[in-house]
Structure 1
Amino acid sequence: MHLRPVQFVDAPFAYDDGAVARLAGGMQWFAAYEVKESGAKRIVPVAEIAALGARAAMLHARFVAPRPPLALGERTLRFDQPVLAAILNVTPDSFSDGGTHRDDPAAAASAGMDMASAGAALIDVGGESTRPGAAAVWEEDEAARVVPVIERLARAGALVSIDTRKALVMERALAAGAAIVNDVSALLWDTRAVDVVARAGCPVIVMHSPDPEKGGHGTTIYRDVAVEVFDWLDARIEALVAAGVDRSRIIVDPGIGFGKSLQDNLALINALAMFHGLGCAIMLGASRKRLIGALSNEAPVGERLGGSVALALKGAEAGVQVLRVHDVAETLQALRVWRGLRDRAFVG
Structure 2
Amino acid sequence: MAESIATARAGSLVSKLESKICYHRDAALEYMEIKAVVGEVIEEKEMLQHDYHALKDELEAAKKTIVEVNKELAAENEETSLNKKELELVRKKLQDWEAKQNLPELQNCSASEHVQPSNSKQGQKRSMRHQEVPSQGPLGIDADKPDLAEERPGSMLVNNPIVGQTSVVSPSTNDDMVALREHMIKQFLEIDKYGGRIIGIKEMGKLNVKAFEIACAEKFRTTKAADASSKLYSLWQQRITDVSWNPFNTVTVEGNHQEVLNVNDDKLQELKKEWGESPYKAVIDALMEMKEYNCLGDRSTVYELWNYRADRKATLTECTEYMADRVQELTVVKRRKTRRRI
TM-score per shorter chain, which class? under 0.3
Relative to the length of structure 2, the TM-score reads 0.23
Higher helix proportion: 2
Which structure's residues are more often strand, by fraction?
1
TM-score by length of structure 1 reads 0.23
